[in-house]
Amino acid sequence: MTLKAARAGRDDAGKIQQQGIDPAQRRQLEKLERKADTDASFEAVAREYHKTKSSAWSPRYAERWISIMEKDAFPWLGSLPLSSITAPMLLQVLRRVEARGAHETAHTLRQWSGQVFRHGIATGRCTSNPAPDLQGALMPIQVKHMAAVLEPVKAGELMRAIGAYAGQPATRAALHLSARLFQRPGNIRQMRWANVDLEKAMWTIPAADMKRTKSAKINGRPHLVPLPAQAVEILEDLKPLTGHGQYVFPCLLTGERPMSDNTVNTALRRMGFDNTEMTAHGFRAMARTIMVEQMDVEPEVIEAQLAHGESGPLGAAYDRAEFVVKRRKMMQLWADHLDELRQGAKILALKAA
Catalytic residue (one of 119, 212, 223, 281) = 281
Find the angle CA(118)-CA(112)-CA(94) to the nearest 5 degrees: 115
Residue pair 140/209 in contact by the 8 Å Cβ criterion: no
Catalytic residue (one of 125, 180, 184, 328) = 184
49 belongs to the catalytic site: no
- pLDDT of 276 reads 86
Catalytic residue (one of 50, 284, 326, 327) = 284
- pLDDT of 146 reads 64
User: What superfamily does domain 152-342 belong to in CATH?
Assistant: Intergrase catalytic core (1.10.443.10)
Residues 329, 335, 341, 343, CA torsion sign: negative
| Domain 40-134 -> CATH class | mainly alpha
HEC states along the chain?
CCHHHHHHHHHHHHHHHHCCCCHHHHHHHHHHHHHHHHHCEHHHHHHHHHHHHHHHCCHHHHHHHHHHHHHHCHHHHCCCEHHHCCHHHHHHHHHHHHHCCCHHHHHHHHHHHHHHHHHHHHCCCCCCCCHHHHCCCCCCCCCCCCCCCCCHHHHHHHHHHHHCCCCCHHHHHHHHHHHHHCCCHHHHHCCEHHHEECCCCEEEECHHHCCCCHHHHHHCCCEEEECCHHHHHHHHHHHHHHCCCCECCECCCCCCCECCCCHHHHHHHHCCCCCCCCCCCHHHHHHHHHHHHCCCCCHHHHHHHCCCCCCCCCHHHCCCHHHHHHHHHHHHHHHHHHHHHHCCCCCCCCCCC
How far apart, in whole angstroms, are the C-alpha atoms of residue 277 and residue 283?
11
The pLDDT tens digits along the chain (353 residues) read 444 444 455 455 555 455 555 666 666 555 545 545 558 999 999 999 999 998 887 788 889 999 999 999 999 999 999 999 999 999 999 999 999 999 989 999 999 999 999 999 999 999 999 999 998 899 987 655 567 888 899 999 999 999 999 999 999 999 999 999 999 999 999 999 999 999 999 999 998 888 887 887 888 889 999 999 999 999 999 999 999 999 999 998 877 899 998 999 999 999 998 888 899 999 999 999 999 888 888 888 888 888 875 444 444 554 555 578 889 999 999 999 999 999 985 444 333 33
35 belongs to the catalytic site: no
Catalytic residue (one of 172, 288, 318, 337) = 318
Domain ranges of the chain: 40-134, 152-342
Catalytic residue (one of 26, 214, 257, 329) = 214
31 belongs to the catalytic site: no
How far apart, in whole angstroms, are the C-alpha atoms of residue 167 and residue 203?
25
Strands across the sheet containing 202-205: 196-197, 202-205, 223-226
184 belongs to the catalytic site: yes
Specify the amino acid at residue 156.
Answer: G
Question: Is this prediction's pTM over 0.75?
Answer: no
